[in-house]
Chain A
Amino acid sequence: AQSVTQLDSHVSVSEGTPVLLRCNYSSSYSPSLFWYVQHPNKGLQLLLKYTSAATLVKGINGFEAEFKKSETSFHLTKPSAHMSDAAEYFCVVSDRTNFGNEKLTFGTGTRLTIIP
């Protein structure tokens, strides 16, 4: 079974300061990991994904995440927050060993608030 734990339900940062959204996962030997962003009443947009290549993954809008197998973590970071980053962020895991029958398991989400 796979699972995802997002350690913070709500994170507030000031505009221009770094962002850290924490995620720990539990999965099989070969997980795929994703971060999605959801703006109010909108669908989900993929920020970045890890699928076994480089452990430091760069995504859109200046976000990046590092896969740390020893810590079973996949934390999302951004050096400098913008007001437009305010949204809900979901960490997601998929079991790559079940190729063709992968299901996405979503974390409970972290609401990011940007303080002007």
Chain B
Amino acid sequence: GAVVSQHPSWVICKSGTSVKIECRSLDFQATTMFWYRQFPKQSLMLMATSNEGSKATYEQGVEKDKFLINHASLTLSTLTVTSAHPEDSSFYICSARQLAGGTYEQYFGPGTRLTVT
């Protein structure tokens, strides 16, 4: 149980275009999902918290107009990188939160590798 999927697993796009990444909780409902960014050989940095039915909460330094998040249902959150530039190339990982044993636990997707040319 507690499986999270991401689509696509990798994408290459041209500079100036927009890319949408989907994050789905396959066997549970998640009112809260998270989006992380991971640069090569570095740790995960939280970008934003996605709440179903409300606006996402962005971490300091993350441009909300560039990284659009939509959490339209209890099993789906999307991250759209708008007007992508080469510096947006990264590994994007989502997680979905579920209450387990009295605490919240995050289940991670396999990640999406974005390359902007």
- A residues within 8 Å of B by Cβ? 32, 36, 41-46, 49, 51, 90, 96, 99-100, 102-104, 106-109
**What residue in chain B is nearest A101 (Cβ atoms)?**
B49
**What residue in chain A is nearest B93 (Cβ atoms)?**
A43
Return B84 CB to nearest CB of chain A, in Å: 20
Given A104-B46, A106-B43, A108-B43, answer yes or no on A51-B101 (Cβ-Cβ < 8 Å).
yes
Cα-based distance from A8 to B6 in the complex (angstroms): 31
- Which label, helix, strand, loop or mixed, suits the secondary structure of the A interface? loop
**Is the Cβ of A43 less than 8 Å from the Cβ of B109?**
yes
Residues from chain B with Cβ under 8 Å of A45 in the complex: 108
Residues from chain A with Cβ under 8 Å of B34 in the complex: 104
- B residues within 8 Å of A by Cβ? 4, 6, 34, 42-46, 49, 91, 93, 95, 101-111, 113
Residues from chain B with Cβ under 8 Å of A51 in the complex: 101-103
**Is the Cβ of A44 less than 8 Å from the Cβ of B42?**
no
**Is the Cβ of B43 less than 8 Å from the Cβ of A109?**
yes
Contact of B44 among A32, A49, A90, A96 (CB under 8 A): A90
Residues from chain A with Cβ under 8 Å of B101 in the complex: 51
Return B31 CB to nearest CB of chain A, in Å: 10
Residues from chain B with Cβ under 8 Å of A41 in the complex: 91, 111, 113
Contact of A106 among B6, B44, B105 (CB under 8 A): B44
**What residue in chain B is nearest A51 (Cβ atoms)?**
B103
Residues from chain A with Cβ under 8 Å of B4 in the complex: 43
Residues from chain A with Cβ under 8 Å of B95 in the complex: 44
Return A31 CB to nearest CB of chain B, in Å: 11
Cα-based distance from A60 to B109 in the complex (angstroms): 19
Given A107-B43, A109-B43, answer yes or no on A42-B103 (Cβ-Cβ < 8 Å).
no
Residues from chain B with Cβ under 8 Å of A102 in the complex: 104
Cα-based distance from A16 to B108 in the complex (angstroms): 30
Residues from chain A with Cβ under 8 Å of B43 in the complex: 90, 106-109
Residues from chain B with Cβ under 8 Å of A43 in the complex: 4, 6, 93, 108-111
